[in-house]
Amino acid sequence: MSLTSTNATSAFEPKDETEKRNNLIRKNMECMLVRSWQQRMHLGSNDYTVFSYATESFDTIEELYAHATSQLEAGNHLSSATARRYLNNLMYEGFREIDPELQAKGIAGLSLDTKLILYESIAQEFHPQNLQYLMALNDEMGLARDFYACEAEESTSFFSMDNIETLQNQYPNLINSLDRLLKSPTSFNIEAKSNIFQQLVDAYCIYCEIPRLNVRCKFEEDEGLQGFYSAYDKSITLNTNTDNFRRNPLGTIETLIHEARHSKQHALAQAYRNGEIKESHSSYIAARLFHASLMTAGGYISPEFNYSGYRDQPAEMDARAAGGAAAAALKRNQKYLSATPQRAMQPNLAFTF
């Protein structure tokens, strides 16, 4: 069946009973995979956001087009199924006859707000086909590098020259240990490293105004797994079985900030859901994307499900930008770690009398 047929979702309709049953089994397995991943790594509950309970059915593509266009123009969400059908038609020339201008531009021609509404609409329900639509929307969102670099500013400034000076005054022992760890990583055992990473994350969480995270350093068979974050028990697990953990603390710190950033994303998503983040907020769009990715039934793409979909979704692009920017800033400003704190050297006038 051609994807350019007027009712594009028919491309996914099973041809016979066997295929129908196989599709059901596959869908259930995928569903279980996503659920188990969400519960293990990200979400602590099944409390997902649903934007639209509408269950529309359209006899013709014209009806679908008219309904979706008017809803999107009014800034309303579509049901997950309608949003998928709308995008499917847009991606595979289904609107060629009805709206040649829209069809010529494709997803790229939609406004950012419409793309966000479609992203949220699709995310609200789990469906195996969500992946291709979320990836297409994300690609066309036009947010890539600059957007996430801007969001990562908070992580970069944590290791700025000025903030290192502040940290030296607040946590002299930590900064001293960090300096020694970076210079001589192999002279620290797992427990000593674990201690430094915990203190570093404590300072970072205070700086970013997020709840304290527990750092666990643990042996994991998979040497490619650097670490992971669990929203469920507010913890970061670092794999001790990696080259980074053994001899490249800068690499481990990149992982640490990456995982801690996931916690900030959850905080932003929750604040958006609570109505605490308005359009004027500097992280408004990011908060909406994190909310759509992390607090809906079908917005999160797990690495087992599709690795490139996982890697390029908003929460991962953002965490990578944060971890990378923080490690680069620390590398750049490492020399200031051993400097004597300025303020500590100044005489305290209050005690000179």
Q: Which residues bind Zn ion (CB under 5 A)?
A: 316, 319
Q: Which residue is nearest to Zn ion (CB)?
A: 319
8 Å CB contact between 237 and 228: yes
CB of 323 to Zn ion, least distance (A): 8
Query: Least distance to Zn ion from the beta carbon of 34, Å?
Result: 16
Is residue 59 classed as helix, strand or coil in its secondary structure?
coil
Pick between residue 71 and residue 230 the one whose CB is nearest to Zn ion: 230
Minimum distance, C-beta of residue 259 to Zn ion, in the bound complex (Å)? 7
Three-class DSSP category at 80: helix
AA identity, residue 32? M
Minimum distance from residue 258 beta carbon to Zn ion (Å): 6
CB closer to Zn ion, 175 vs 294: 294
Q: How far is the CB of 7 from Zn ion (least distance, A)?
A: 38
State which residue, 52 or 244, has the beta carbon closest to Zn ion: 244
Which residues is 216 bridged to in the sheet? Answer: 237
d(CA 235, CA 157): 23
Minimum CB distance to Zn ion smaller for 52 or for 252: 252
CB of 143 to Zn ion, least distance (A): 17
- Distance CA(61)–CA(93), nearest Å, equals 12
Q: Which of 270, 258, 228, 277 is nearest to 326 (CA)?
A: 258
Nearer to Zn ion, 154 or 316 (CB): 316
Phi, psi of 275 (to 5 degrees): 80, 15
Looking at beta carbons only, is 87 or 134 nearer to Zn ion? Answer: 134
Both tokens of 124, joined, read 């609200």
Q: Do residues 44 and 232 lie in contact, with contact meaning Cβ atoms separated by under 8 Å?
A: yes
CA angle 176, 177, 180 (to 5 degrees): 90
Strand order of the sheet with strand 235-239? 214-218, 235-239, 227-230
Rounded least distance, CB 287 to Zn ion, Å:
17
197 to each of 53, 109, 144, 158, how far by Cα in Å? 45, 46, 30, 15
* Cβ proximity to Zn ion, 200 vs 319, nearer residue: 319
